[in-house]
Amino acid sequence: MFWPKLNSHKIKLHVFEALSKNSNYRTEDILGIPGTFLDTEVFYDDAPFLKEAPFLSALIANPNHIGCHTLSGEHEEMFSGTQEIEKELLRICSEEIFKGEPNSIDGYVASGGTEANIEALWIYRNYFINEFNADHNEIAIVYSEDTHYSLAKGCDLLNLDSIVLKVNESDRAIEISDLELKIDEAVEKGKKYFIVTLNMATTMFGSVDDIEKITSYFNLLQLNYKLHIDAAYGGFIYPFTNSSSLYNFANPNITSISIDCHKLLQAPYGTGIFMIRKNFMQYVCTEKASYVKGKDYTLCGSRSGANAICVWMILHAHGASGWLVKMNHLLDTTTDVCAALDEMKVEYFRDPFLNIITIRSESISAELAHRYYLIPDSYEDPKWYKMVIMPHVKQGVLHRFLSDLSKETSLR
Ligand SMILES: Cc1ncc(COP(=O)(O)O)c(C=O)c1O
Protein backbone atom coordinates (compact mmCIF):
# COMPACT_ATOMS: atom_id res chain seq x y z
CA MET A 1 0.00 0.00 0.00
CA PHE A 2 1.49 3.27 -1.01
CA TRP A 3 -1.09 5.98 -1.51
CA PRO A 4 0.54 9.21 -0.31
CA LYS A 5 -0.16 11.46 2.62
CA LEU A 6 -0.98 14.93 1.28
CA ASN A 7 -1.01 18.18 3.23
CA SER A 8 -4.33 20.00 3.55
CA HIS A 9 -3.33 22.52 0.88
CA LYS A 10 -2.75 19.78 -1.71
CA ILE A 11 -5.96 18.01 -0.75
CA LYS A 12 -7.87 21.26 -1.14
CA LEU A 13 -6.33 22.02 -4.54
CA HIS A 14 -7.11 18.52 -5.83
CA VAL A 15 -10.77 18.63 -4.76
CA PHE A 16 -11.37 22.20 -5.99
CA GLU A 17 -9.77 21.34 -9.31
CA ALA A 18 -12.08 18.32 -9.67
CA LEU A 19 -15.10 20.45 -8.75
CA SER A 20 -14.10 23.03 -11.36
CA LYS A 21 -14.29 20.31 -14.03
CA ASN A 22 -17.91 19.54 -13.09
CA SER A 23 -20.75 21.49 -14.65
CA ASN A 24 -21.80 24.33 -12.38
CA TYR A 25 -25.48 24.96 -11.65
CA ARG A 26 -24.62 28.59 -10.82
CA THR A 27 -22.74 29.56 -13.95
CA GLU A 28 -24.00 27.30 -16.75
CA ASP A 29 -27.25 27.05 -18.71
CA ILE A 30 -28.46 23.76 -17.22
CA LEU A 31 -32.11 23.22 -18.12
CA GLY A 32 -32.74 19.48 -18.19
CA ILE A 33 -31.60 18.19 -14.80
CA PRO A 34 -33.91 17.64 -11.80
CA GLY A 35 -31.00 18.55 -9.50
CA THR A 36 -29.41 21.80 -8.34
CA PHE A 37 -27.13 23.26 -5.64
CA LEU A 38 -28.25 23.02 -2.00
CA ASP A 39 -30.94 25.37 -0.72
CA THR A 40 -29.39 28.83 -0.43
CA GLU A 41 -31.42 29.92 2.61
CA VAL A 42 -29.66 27.25 4.63
CA PHE A 43 -26.48 26.59 2.64
CA TYR A 44 -25.30 29.97 1.37
CA ASP A 45 -22.36 29.67 -0.97
CA ASP A 46 -20.76 33.04 -0.22
CA ALA A 47 -19.55 32.09 3.27
CA PRO A 48 -15.83 32.96 3.26
CA PHE A 49 -14.80 29.73 5.02
CA LEU A 50 -16.04 27.65 2.05
CA LYS A 51 -12.89 28.58 0.13
CA GLU A 52 -10.97 26.58 2.73
CA ALA A 53 -13.50 23.75 2.99
CA PRO A 54 -13.47 21.41 -0.03
CA PHE A 55 -15.90 18.84 1.42
CA LEU A 56 -18.51 21.47 2.37
CA SER A 57 -18.06 23.13 -1.02
CA ALA A 58 -18.66 19.76 -2.68
CA LEU A 59 -21.80 19.23 -0.58
CA ILE A 60 -23.15 22.62 -1.62
CA ALA A 61 -22.28 22.14 -5.31
CA ASN A 62 -24.21 18.84 -4.97
CA PRO A 63 -22.72 16.63 -7.72
CA ASN A 64 -24.76 13.50 -8.44
CA HIS A 65 -22.58 10.41 -8.99
CA ILE A 66 -25.45 8.26 -10.28
CA GLY A 67 -24.18 5.18 -12.15
CA CYS A 68 -20.95 3.20 -11.92
CA HIS A 69 -17.87 5.10 -13.07
CA THR A 70 -15.27 2.34 -13.07
CA LEU A 71 -17.02 0.84 -16.10
CA SER A 72 -15.70 1.84 -19.49
CA GLY A 73 -18.05 3.59 -21.88
CA GLU A 74 -20.31 6.56 -21.48
CA HIS A 75 -20.89 8.44 -18.22
CA GLU A 76 -22.90 11.41 -17.07
CA GLU A 77 -20.56 14.20 -18.21
CA MET A 78 -21.78 16.96 -15.90
CA PHE A 79 -19.87 15.60 -12.92
CA SER A 80 -16.88 14.01 -14.61
CA GLY A 81 -14.41 16.01 -12.48
CA THR A 82 -15.47 14.51 -9.19
CA GLN A 83 -16.27 11.10 -10.73
CA GLU A 84 -12.50 10.89 -11.31
CA ILE A 85 -11.98 11.21 -7.54
CA GLU A 86 -14.41 8.35 -6.97
CA LYS A 87 -12.53 6.22 -9.52
CA GLU A 88 -9.22 6.97 -7.79
CA LEU A 89 -10.80 6.05 -4.45
CA LEU A 90 -12.02 2.73 -5.88
CA ARG A 91 -8.53 2.10 -7.28
CA ILE A 92 -6.88 2.64 -3.91
CA CYS A 93 -9.35 0.40 -2.09
CA SER A 94 -9.47 -2.42 -4.65
CA GLU A 95 -5.83 -2.46 -5.78
CA GLU A 96 -3.78 -1.18 -2.86
CA ILE A 97 -5.81 -2.34 0.13
CA PHE A 98 -7.46 -5.41 -1.43
CA LYS A 99 -4.72 -6.47 -3.87
CA GLY A 100 -6.73 -6.46 -7.11
CA GLU A 101 -4.83 -6.46 -10.42
CA PRO A 102 -4.75 -3.03 -12.13
CA ASN A 103 -8.10 -2.19 -13.74
CA SER A 104 -9.64 -5.51 -12.76
CA ILE A 105 -12.28 -4.29 -10.30
CA ASP A 106 -15.51 -2.31 -10.68
CA GLY A 107 -17.41 -0.62 -7.90
CA TYR A 108 -19.01 2.46 -6.43
CA VAL A 109 -19.61 4.36 -3.20
CA ALA A 110 -22.83 2.90 -1.86
CA SER A 111 -25.00 4.12 1.00
CA GLY A 112 -23.39 1.61 3.35
CA GLY A 113 -22.66 -2.04 4.06
CA THR A 114 -26.32 -3.02 3.74
CA GLU A 115 -26.61 -1.71 0.20
CA ALA A 116 -23.21 -3.09 -0.83
CA ASN A 117 -24.09 -6.57 0.49
CA ILE A 118 -27.48 -6.58 -1.24
CA GLU A 119 -25.90 -5.34 -4.48
CA ALA A 120 -23.65 -8.44 -4.40
CA LEU A 121 -26.58 -10.80 -3.83
CA TRP A 122 -28.57 -9.10 -6.59
CA ILE A 123 -25.68 -9.46 -9.06
CA TYR A 124 -25.10 -13.15 -8.29
CA ARG A 125 -28.80 -14.01 -8.40
CA ASN A 126 -29.03 -12.50 -11.89
CA TYR A 127 -25.70 -14.09 -12.90
CA PHE A 128 -27.02 -17.57 -12.07
CA ILE A 129 -30.34 -16.86 -13.80
CA ASN A 130 -28.74 -15.38 -16.95
CA GLU A 131 -25.76 -17.70 -17.34
CA PHE A 132 -27.23 -21.01 -16.14
CA ASN A 133 -30.93 -20.47 -16.64
CA ALA A 134 -31.31 -21.03 -12.90
CA ASP A 135 -34.70 -21.09 -11.29
CA HIS A 136 -35.15 -18.95 -8.15
CA ASN A 137 -35.68 -22.09 -6.09
CA GLU A 138 -32.35 -23.52 -7.20
CA ILE A 139 -30.34 -20.63 -5.70
CA ALA A 140 -29.43 -20.36 -2.00
CA ILE A 141 -27.59 -17.72 0.00
CA VAL A 142 -25.18 -19.24 2.54
CA TYR A 143 -23.93 -17.40 5.62
CA SER A 144 -23.22 -17.93 9.31
CA GLU A 145 -25.61 -17.20 12.15
CA ASP A 146 -23.27 -14.38 13.29
CA THR A 147 -23.70 -12.60 9.94
CA HIS A 148 -25.14 -9.07 9.81
CA TYR A 149 -28.90 -8.89 9.30
CA SER A 150 -28.45 -7.13 5.93
CA LEU A 151 -28.03 -10.61 4.45
CA ALA A 152 -31.42 -11.69 5.79
CA LYS A 153 -32.84 -8.46 4.35
CA GLY A 154 -31.30 -9.31 0.98
CA CYS A 155 -32.82 -12.82 0.97
CA ASP A 156 -36.20 -11.32 1.73
CA LEU A 157 -35.96 -8.66 -0.99
CA LEU A 158 -34.60 -10.99 -3.65
CA ASN A 159 -36.92 -13.82 -2.69
CA LEU A 160 -34.09 -16.31 -2.21
CA ASP A 161 -33.70 -19.09 0.36
CA SER A 162 -30.98 -18.83 2.96
CA ILE A 163 -28.81 -21.51 4.52
CA VAL A 164 -27.70 -20.25 7.92
CA LEU A 165 -24.66 -22.04 9.33
CA LYS A 166 -24.09 -22.68 13.02
CA VAL A 167 -21.03 -21.28 14.72
CA ASN A 168 -19.15 -22.68 17.66
CA GLU A 169 -20.37 -21.03 20.88
CA SER A 170 -16.96 -20.01 22.14
CA ASP A 171 -14.65 -19.38 19.16
CA ARG A 172 -17.48 -18.30 16.79
CA ALA A 173 -16.05 -20.41 13.94
CA ILE A 174 -18.48 -21.83 11.39
CA GLU A 175 -19.13 -25.50 12.25
CA ILE A 176 -17.92 -27.48 9.27
CA SER A 177 -20.14 -30.47 10.17
CA ASP A 178 -23.15 -28.14 9.99
CA LEU A 179 -21.95 -26.77 6.64
CA GLU A 180 -21.60 -30.29 5.22
CA LEU A 181 -24.97 -31.39 6.55
CA LYS A 182 -26.89 -28.34 5.33
CA ILE A 183 -25.28 -28.15 1.89
CA ASP A 184 -25.78 -31.91 1.33
CA GLU A 185 -29.41 -31.50 2.30
CA ALA A 186 -29.82 -28.43 0.06
CA VAL A 187 -28.28 -30.21 -2.94
CA GLU A 188 -30.60 -33.15 -2.36
CA LYS A 189 -33.57 -30.75 -2.34
CA GLY A 190 -32.52 -29.26 -5.68
CA LYS A 191 -30.27 -26.31 -4.84
CA LYS A 192 -27.61 -25.96 -7.55
CA TYR A 193 -26.26 -22.43 -7.15
CA PHE A 194 -24.80 -20.94 -3.98
CA ILE A 195 -24.15 -17.33 -3.07
CA VAL A 196 -21.72 -17.62 -0.16
CA THR A 197 -21.05 -14.65 2.11
CA LEU A 198 -18.17 -14.73 4.58
CA ASN A 199 -17.38 -12.17 7.26
CA MET A 200 -14.27 -10.11 7.76
CA ALA A 201 -15.49 -9.45 10.46
CA THR A 202 -18.81 -10.07 12.24
CA THR A 203 -20.70 -7.19 13.83
CA MET A 204 -21.03 -8.61 17.32
CA PHE A 205 -17.78 -10.53 17.78
CA GLY A 206 -15.33 -9.24 15.21
CA SER A 207 -14.86 -12.91 14.29
CA VAL A 208 -13.41 -13.68 10.88
CA ASP A 209 -14.81 -16.72 9.05
CA ASP A 210 -12.30 -19.38 7.99
CA ILE A 211 -12.22 -18.72 4.26
CA GLU A 212 -9.88 -21.61 3.42
CA LYS A 213 -12.04 -24.25 5.10
CA ILE A 214 -15.26 -22.99 3.54
CA THR A 215 -13.95 -22.47 0.00
CA SER A 216 -12.06 -25.76 -0.07
CA TYR A 217 -15.33 -27.52 0.79
CA PHE A 218 -17.21 -25.82 -2.06
CA ASN A 219 -14.29 -26.35 -4.46
CA LEU A 220 -13.87 -30.01 -3.52
CA LEU A 221 -17.53 -30.72 -4.24
CA GLN A 222 -17.27 -28.65 -7.43
CA LEU A 223 -20.35 -26.70 -6.42
CA ASN A 224 -21.33 -23.70 -8.50
CA TYR A 225 -20.84 -20.77 -6.11
CA LYS A 226 -19.86 -17.13 -5.92
CA LEU A 227 -18.20 -15.70 -2.85
CA HIS A 228 -18.89 -12.25 -1.41
CA ILE A 229 -16.95 -10.88 1.56
CA ASP A 230 -18.74 -8.68 4.04
CA ALA A 231 -15.88 -6.49 5.23
CA ALA A 232 -18.21 -3.64 6.21
CA TYR A 233 -16.69 -3.67 9.65
CA GLY A 234 -13.15 -5.01 9.12
CA GLY A 235 -12.33 -3.48 5.74
CA PHE A 236 -10.26 -0.58 7.00
CA ILE A 237 -8.48 -2.40 9.83
CA TYR A 238 -7.92 -6.11 9.10
CA PRO A 239 -5.88 -5.70 5.88
CA PHE A 240 -3.60 -3.33 7.83
CA THR A 241 -3.22 -5.34 11.02
CA ASN A 242 -2.97 -8.79 9.39
CA SER A 243 -0.45 -8.74 6.56
CA SER A 244 -1.23 -12.40 5.72
CA SER A 245 -4.95 -11.80 5.28
CA LEU A 246 -6.52 -14.03 2.61
CA TYR A 247 -9.49 -11.71 2.27
CA ASN A 248 -8.54 -9.87 -0.88
CA PHE A 249 -8.71 -10.08 -4.68
CA ALA A 250 -5.42 -12.02 -4.83
CA ASN A 251 -7.61 -14.88 -3.60
CA PRO A 252 -9.28 -16.23 -6.78
CA ASN A 253 -12.24 -17.59 -4.81
CA ILE A 254 -13.42 -14.09 -3.92
CA THR A 255 -15.52 -12.19 -6.45
CA SER A 256 -16.74 -9.19 -4.44
CA ILE A 257 -16.07 -7.29 -1.22
CA SER A 258 -18.00 -4.61 0.65
CA ILE A 259 -16.39 -2.18 3.09
CA ASP A 260 -17.76 0.68 5.16
CA CYS A 261 -15.99 4.01 5.47
CA HIS A 262 -18.49 5.32 8.03
CA LYS A 263 -17.19 2.88 10.62
CA LEU A 264 -13.42 2.81 11.25
CA LEU A 265 -12.48 5.36 8.60
CA GLN A 266 -14.53 8.01 10.45
CA ALA A 267 -16.27 9.20 7.28
CA PRO A 268 -19.84 10.54 7.38
CA TYR A 269 -22.72 8.06 7.04
CA GLY A 270 -23.52 7.18 3.45
CA THR A 271 -20.06 5.91 2.58
CA GLY A 272 -20.03 2.17 1.95
CA ILE A 273 -17.90 0.84 -0.88
CA PHE A 274 -18.87 -2.05 -3.14
CA MET A 275 -16.13 -3.76 -5.18
CA ILE A 276 -16.48 -6.62 -7.66
CA ARG A 277 -14.34 -8.21 -10.34
CA LYS A 278 -14.93 -6.89 -13.86
CA ASN A 279 -17.68 -8.39 -16.02
CA PHE A 280 -20.21 -8.73 -13.20
CA MET A 281 -21.82 -5.28 -12.87
CA GLN A 282 -23.68 -5.84 -16.12
CA TYR A 283 -25.96 -8.39 -14.43
CA VAL A 284 -27.72 -5.50 -12.67
CA CYS A 285 -27.64 -2.99 -15.50
CA THR A 286 -31.01 -1.27 -15.47
CA GLU A 287 -31.71 -0.81 -19.18
CA LYS A 288 -34.81 1.18 -18.28
CA ALA A 289 -32.52 3.97 -16.97
CA SER A 290 -32.42 5.18 -20.55
CA TYR A 291 -32.19 8.88 -19.62
CA VAL A 292 -29.07 8.26 -17.46
CA LYS A 293 -25.99 8.49 -19.66
CA GLY A 294 -24.07 5.24 -19.15
CA LYS A 295 -27.12 3.61 -17.45
CA ASP A 296 -27.44 2.69 -13.78
CA TYR A 297 -26.01 -0.39 -12.09
CA THR A 298 -26.53 0.50 -8.46
CA LEU A 299 -29.25 -0.17 -5.94
CA CYS A 300 -29.49 3.42 -4.72
CA GLY A 301 -29.59 5.46 -7.96
CA SER A 302 -28.72 9.10 -7.27
CA ARG A 303 -25.91 9.53 -4.74
CA SER A 304 -23.80 12.42 -3.56
CA GLY A 305 -20.36 12.83 -5.10
CA ALA A 306 -19.34 14.58 -1.86
CA ASN A 307 -19.27 11.15 -0.15
CA ALA A 308 -16.52 9.85 -2.43
CA ILE A 309 -14.64 13.12 -2.03
CA CYS A 310 -14.59 13.01 1.76
CA VAL A 311 -13.36 9.40 1.83
CA TRP A 312 -10.62 10.28 -0.65
CA MET A 313 -9.70 13.24 1.60
CA ILE A 314 -9.51 11.11 4.76
CA LEU A 315 -7.30 8.51 3.09
CA HIS A 316 -4.91 11.20 1.83
CA ALA A 317 -4.83 13.06 5.13
CA HIS A 318 -3.16 9.95 6.59
CA GLY A 319 -1.48 8.21 3.66
CA ALA A 320 -1.10 4.40 3.69
CA SER A 321 1.61 4.40 6.33
CA GLY A 322 -0.25 6.82 8.61
CA TRP A 323 -3.34 4.63 8.44
CA LEU A 324 -1.30 1.54 9.30
CA VAL A 325 0.03 3.28 12.42
CA LYS A 326 -3.46 4.42 13.44
CA MET A 327 -4.98 0.93 13.12
CA ASN A 328 -2.09 -0.71 14.96
CA HIS A 329 -2.57 1.76 17.77
CA LEU A 330 -6.21 0.64 18.13
CA LEU A 331 -5.04 -2.97 18.05
CA ASP A 332 -2.46 -2.39 20.81
CA THR A 333 -5.03 -0.71 23.04
CA THR A 334 -7.40 -3.64 22.49
CA THR A 335 -4.63 -6.09 23.38
CA ASP A 336 -3.90 -4.17 26.60
CA VAL A 337 -7.58 -4.36 27.60
CA CYS A 338 -7.60 -8.10 26.89
CA ALA A 339 -4.52 -8.58 29.10
CA ALA A 340 -6.36 -6.85 31.96
CA LEU A 341 -9.44 -9.03 31.36
CA ASP A 342 -7.25 -12.15 31.42
CA GLU A 343 -5.88 -11.14 34.81
CA MET A 344 -9.42 -10.80 36.12
CA LYS A 345 -10.33 -14.15 34.54
CA VAL A 346 -13.13 -12.47 32.61
CA GLU A 347 -14.36 -14.61 29.71
CA TYR A 348 -14.46 -12.94 26.32
CA PHE A 349 -13.97 -13.46 22.55
CA ARG A 350 -11.54 -11.45 20.47
CA ASP A 351 -9.90 -11.91 17.07
CA PRO A 352 -6.22 -10.93 17.50
CA PHE A 353 -6.33 -8.60 14.47
CA LEU A 354 -9.44 -6.68 15.47
CA ASN A 355 -10.53 -4.08 17.97
CA ILE A 356 -13.74 -5.73 19.22
CA ILE A 357 -13.92 -7.51 22.58
CA THR A 358 -17.10 -9.45 23.37
CA ILE A 359 -17.54 -10.33 27.04
CA ARG A 360 -19.74 -13.16 28.29
CA SER A 361 -22.74 -11.88 30.25
CA GLU A 362 -21.75 -14.07 33.22
CA SER A 363 -18.57 -11.99 33.53
CA ILE A 364 -20.13 -8.53 33.68
CA SER A 365 -23.28 -7.11 35.28
CA ALA A 366 -25.97 -5.71 33.01
CA GLU A 367 -25.74 -2.47 35.00
CA LEU A 368 -22.02 -2.01 34.32
CA ALA A 369 -22.40 -2.94 30.67
CA HIS A 370 -25.21 -0.42 30.37
CA ARG A 371 -23.21 2.32 32.15
CA TYR A 372 -20.41 2.07 29.58
CA TYR A 373 -22.75 1.59 26.56
CA LEU A 374 -21.62 -1.97 25.85
CA ILE A 375 -23.94 -3.54 23.28
CA PRO A 376 -25.73 -6.83 24.09
CA ASP A 377 -26.13 -9.53 21.44
CA SER A 378 -29.84 -9.48 22.30
CA TYR A 379 -31.74 -6.98 24.41
CA GLU A 380 -34.22 -9.69 25.49
CA ASP A 381 -31.72 -12.28 26.69
CA PRO A 382 -28.13 -11.00 26.60
CA LYS A 383 -25.43 -13.67 26.50
CA TRP A 384 -22.63 -11.37 25.37
CA TYR A 385 -21.73 -7.69 25.58
CA LYS A 386 -19.37 -6.12 23.07
CA MET A 387 -16.97 -3.25 23.44
CA VAL A 388 -15.34 -1.63 20.43
CA ILE A 389 -12.04 0.23 20.82
CA MET A 390 -12.78 3.13 18.48
CA PRO A 391 -10.68 6.29 18.08
CA HIS A 392 -12.78 8.16 20.69
CA VAL A 393 -12.07 5.51 23.37
CA LYS A 394 -9.45 7.06 25.64
CA GLN A 395 -7.20 5.39 28.21
CA GLY A 396 -8.90 7.15 31.14
CA VAL A 397 -12.30 5.65 30.32
CA LEU A 398 -10.77 2.22 29.85
CA HIS A 399 -9.04 2.44 33.23
CA ARG A 400 -12.29 3.40 34.95
CA PHE A 401 -14.16 0.61 33.19
CA LEU A 402 -11.54 -2.00 34.06
CA SER A 403 -11.38 -0.83 37.66
CA ASP A 404 -15.21 -1.02 37.98
CA LEU A 405 -15.18 -4.49 36.40
CA SER A 406 -12.40 -5.58 38.74
CA LYS A 407 -14.50 -4.51 41.77
CA GLU A 408 -17.35 -6.65 40.46
CA THR A 409 -15.19 -9.69 39.76
CA SER A 410 -13.53 -9.53 43.19
CA LEU A 411 -16.99 -9.80 44.79
CA ARG A 412 -17.79 -13.00 42.89
C1 LIG B 1 -20.46 -6.85 9.29
C2 LIG B 1 -21.46 -5.80 8.90
N3 LIG B 1 -22.04 -5.86 7.70
C4 LIG B 1 -22.94 -4.96 7.29
C5 LIG B 1 -23.29 -3.92 8.11
C6 LIG B 1 -24.33 -2.93 7.64
O7 LIG B 1 -23.74 -1.71 7.42
P8 LIG B 1 -24.59 -0.35 7.25
O9 LIG B 1 -25.22 -0.10 8.59
O10 LIG B 1 -23.55 0.59 6.84
O11 LIG B 1 -25.61 -0.59 6.21
C12 LIG B 1 -22.73 -3.81 9.38
C13 LIG B 1 -23.12 -2.72 10.29
O14 LIG B 1 -22.89 -2.74 11.46
C15 LIG B 1 -21.76 -4.77 9.79
O16 LIG B 1 -21.18 -4.72 10.98
- Residue 412 predicted with pLDDT over 80: no
CA distance 204 to 293: 41
pLDDT of 65-117, one tens digit each? 999 999 998 888 899 999 999 999 999 999 999 999 999 999 999 999 999 99
Are residues 409 and 363 in contact, defined by beta-carbon separation less than 8 angstroms?
yes
Query: In this structure, are 250 and 223 located in the same domain?
Result: yes
Gap from CA of 155 to ligand 1 centroid (Å): 16
pLDDT of 37-69, one tens digit each? 999 989 988 889 999 999 999 999 999 999 999
The structure's pTM equals: 0.97
Mean pLDDT of the chain: 96
Gap from CA of 119 to ligand 1 centroid (Å): 14
CA distance 236 to 51: 30
- Residue 157 predicted with pLDDT over 90: yes
DSSP-assigned beta bridge partners for residue 87: none
Of 42-56, 252-266, 316-330, 344-358, least confident by mean pLDDT is 42-56
Range of the domain at 390: 320-411
Band the pLDDT of 139: cuts 50, 70, 90.
very high
Q: In terms of Cα–Cα distance, which of 70, 74, 114 is closest to 275? A: 70
Among 242, 267, 301, give the residue marking a domain's end.
Answer: 301
CA distance 199 to 313: 27
Query: In this structure, are 154 and 182 located in the same domain?
Result: yes
Gap from CA of 43 to ligand 1 centroid (Å): 31
The number of folded domains in the chain is 2
Probe residue for ligand 1, chosen from 109, 111, 114 as the CB with the greatest number of ligand atoms within 8 Å: 114
DSSP-assigned beta bridge partners for residue 3: none
- Residue 293 predicted with pLDDT over 90: no
DSSP state of 296: B
CA distance 198 to 245: 14
pLDDT of 15-40, one tens digit each? 999 999 999 999 999 999 989 999 99
Query: In this structure, are 366 and 277 located in the same domain?
Result: no
Q: Which atom of ligand 1 is nearest to the CA of 263?
A: 10
296's torsion region: left (phi>0), alpha (psi -120 to 50) or beta?
beta
Query: In this structure, are 361 and 281 located in the same domain?
Result: no
In a domain, 47, yes or no: no
Query: In this structure, are 154 and 210 located in the same domain?
Result: yes
Query: In this structure, are 226 and 369 located in the same domain?
Result: no
Amino acid symbol at 236 = F
Nearest residue (by CA) to ligand 1, atom 8, is 113
Probe residue for ligand 1, chosen from 233, 256, 264, 386 as the CB with the greatest number of ligand atoms within 8 Å: 233
CATH number for 385: 3.90.1150.10
Are residues 241 and 354 in contact, defined by beta-carbon separation less than 8 angstroms?
yes
Query: In this structure, are 243 and 380 located in the same domain?
Result: no
- Residue 290 predicted with pLDDT over 90: no
Q: Which atom of ligand 1 is nearest to the CA of 260?
A: 10
Gap from CA of 241 to ligand 1 centroid (Å): 20
Query: In this structure, are 219 and 345 located in the same domain?
Result: no
In a domain, 353, yes or no: yes
pLDDT for residue 330? 98
- Count of beta carbons in the 10 Å neighbourhood of residue 351: 23
